[in-house]
Structure 1
Amino acid sequence: MQTNLINVDGVELWTEEFGDPAHPPILLVMGSMSQGVLWPDAFVGRLAAGGRRVIRYDHRDIGRSGTIDFAARPYTWRDISDDVLRVLDAYGLDSAHLVCHSAGGLLGQLIAVEHPERVRTLTVIGSSPLGEREGQVLMRALMGQPQPEGSLPPPTPEFVAFFTEVISSPPPANRREQIDRMIAEARVLHGTALPFDEDEERRLQERIYERARDLSALANHRLAHAADPDFEPEGALHRVKAPTLVVEGTCEPAKPGHGAIIAERIPGAELLMVEGMGHTLPPQVHGELAAAVLAHTTER
């Protein structure tokens, strides 16, 4: 394991590398406002042991990456997408296998559409189809508004109830309250089918809290999305040329059914439904997920 803080165009990005540099590279792209260490160490270790060079990183304004004065230096989701390419460049990689989670899946889809030469294969986990404005579906659900015909499936009632309460509640007053809220959110995202290890989750959330330069800076990702709400090109997924694996849990609370839509729209894409998985990456599914990613990224 080797940790690097790279500086690209004035933005510091924390990165971490595992495995033999001579092995095929996998770049792990986590979701919006999420630290790279949410790619579980055990899962990353399985990929490295399977003969892959694995790189994970923190987005700008997240974790150990640099924080930005958004008012003085505003940026958009397009810039966050470009950071993926900046990480590849910093490691001297013309291309890599992209394995992406949640909103990171939108970044992966966008790069596969606009920079196909950089993507050897694409794996999208717990994500929504590019160009469908999934955030609008979420906002309508939180506001209790009906979804227009033909829109994406909304989150589950349990997901909506939790985040509706969060929005109406005062912010956490101290470290303990913040971590408790983070655990409660993780429990909802985890789903109800698999056992939830609260002690292990507390250790993870304490790690996330402690390693953040400024935990409040993650809100800048919302500002970045608002600054460029139309960054997602519509009707573009047919242009994806990279072999694509789409993964969704059978108990996905945030984006239920979205995986099948992605797989429908990308030519030749494969859909893998993981029994019991929600929107997180719990230990119970590491073996199945790692085996699927290793098989998908085997270079022929």
Structure 2
Amino acid sequence: MTTNAERLLDINGAEVCVQTFGDRADPAVLLVAGACASMLWWDAALCERIAAGGRHVVRYDHRDTGRSTSYPPGAPGYSYTDLALDTLGIQDALGIERAHLVCQSMFGGIGLIAGVDHPDRVASLTFVSSSTGEPGLPPPSGELAEGRPAEPDPADPASVVDYVVGSARAYAGGYFDEAATRALAQRDVARARNYASTLVNHYAIDGDGPARGGFGDITAPTLVVHGGRDPLLPLPHGEALRDAVPGAELLVLAEAGHDLPAPAWDAFVPALIRHTGRGRS
């Protein structure tokens, strides 16, 4: 299996850092991290496991994360639609006609826009720990509010690392590896162009959506993956998303929280391989 070095690509008016795993002749799986998350939060070991199942795995840094283009804190120069177009630009740059998109948390919205407005480029969709955002769904748990750390000093890397680790602990369900999370947070903070922008800019972007409709207009085969102990978006959010997309299936990771911890990979990876085997890319 081939693991390629990170590289910066000119995509849609920005520099976007991309890394690939596996054989480029295999069906392409494009991993779209959640808000404020660089590619590192799709663990390299997870990418390698997916690639070992016969998939060409692509992970990348969103704008304002990792090595990709950064904007001033509080002033992101892009919209949701721009972020969705970034995924298509990555496909163009890598010679991928159609990709299987795996979209996490808030950036399930990227999968929604790509799936509805550009269905010819999307072989399948997987939503991980995401939501339709419809009224009436349960709010975050009270324990989450109590467990969230205080906002860090962006100029103090140690403070930022503590904040990231504390946030990950609050979002976790039955699994949390503090040592591994701290090592990842230290790499992420050190690698970012401007972590002050990482902390705030994704929450300040224009909340536009698809031009043509909503979740009910998705035609790509869709898998919804949700943690049974997600404190940020409790399980009914995943169930509502499953119900909103025609023909969607739901995989519940019983002990997982909002993230995708290593103990859940034994269930997640085979399900993703099966799901992405349904359509050509």
TM-score norm. by structure 1 comes to 0.85
Structure 1 residue 267 displacement after superposition: 0.7
Equivalent position of 1:281 in the other structure? 260
1:189 aligns with 2:206: no
Does the residue aligned with 1:205 lie in a helix, a strand or coil? helix
Does the residue aligned with 1:231 lie in a helix, a strand or coil? coil
Q: Once the two structures are aligned, what percentage of the paired residues are identical?
A: 39
Equivalent position of 1:25 in the other structure? 28
Equivalent position of 1:263 in the other structure? 242
Does the residue aligned with 2:23 lie in a helix, a strand or coil? coil
1:144-185 deviation line (CA, Å, top 9, x unaligned)? xxxxxx42211111122344x63xx56366222221111111
2:187 to 207, 223, 248: 207
Alignment of 1:86-101 (within 5 A): 86-101=89-104
Structure 1 residue 245 displacement after superposition: 0.4
Structure 1 residue 232 displacement after superposition: 5.8
Gaps of 5+ in 1: 133-149
2: CA distance, partners of 1:254 / 1:71: 23
Alignment of 1:137-148 (within 5 A): none
Kept after mapping to 1: 8 A contact 2:37/2:65: yes
| One-letter amino acid of the counterpart of residue 238, structure 1 | G
Distance 1:93 1:199, change over 3 A: same
| One-letter amino acid of the counterpart of residue 84, structure 1 | T
Distance 1:234 1:260, change over 3 A: farther
Structure 1 residue 270 displacement after superposition: 0.3
1:179 aligns with 2:179: no
1:26-66 deviation line (CA, Å, top 9, x unaligned)? 00001111111101122111111000000000001111112
| One-letter amino acid of the counterpart of residue 83, structure 2 | I
| One-letter amino acid of the counterpart of residue 20, structure 1 | D
| One-letter amino acid of the counterpart of residue 171, structure 1 | D
Structure 1 residue 74 displacement after superposition: 2.6
Does the residue aligned with 1:206 lie in a helix, a strand or coil? helix
2: CA distance, partners of 1:209 / 1:72: 20
2: CA distance, partners of 1:85 / 1:114: 11
Equivalent position of 1:118 in the other structure? 121
Kept after mapping to 2: 8 A contact 1:42/1:286: no
| One-letter amino acid of the counterpart of residue 204, structure 2 | L
Equivalent position of 2:273 in the other structure? 294
2: CA distance, partners of 1:187 / 1:5: 31
1:250 aligns with 2:235: no
Kept after mapping to 2: 8 A contact 1:77/1:221: no
Equivalent position of 2:146 in the other structure? 161
Distance 1:229 1:105, change over 3 A: closer
Distance 1:243 1:179, change over 3 A: same
Q: Pick which of 49-58 and 103-112 moved more.
A: 103-112
- What is the aligned length? 274
1:63-110 deviation line (CA, Å, top 9, x unaligned)? 111213478873222211211111111111121111111122121122
Distance 1:252 1:26, change over 3 A: same
Q: CA RMSD in A?
A: 2.1
Kept after mapping to 1: 8 A contact 2:12/2:82: no
Structure 1 residue 235 displacement after superposition: 6.1
Distance 1:182 1:235, change over 3 A: same
TM-score norm. by structure 2 comes to 0.91
Kept after mapping to 1: 8 A contact 2:113/2:210: yes
Gaps of 5+ in 2: none
Equivalent position of 1:272 in the other structure? 251
1:220 aligns with 2:201: yes
2: CA distance, partners of 1:178 / 1:5: 25
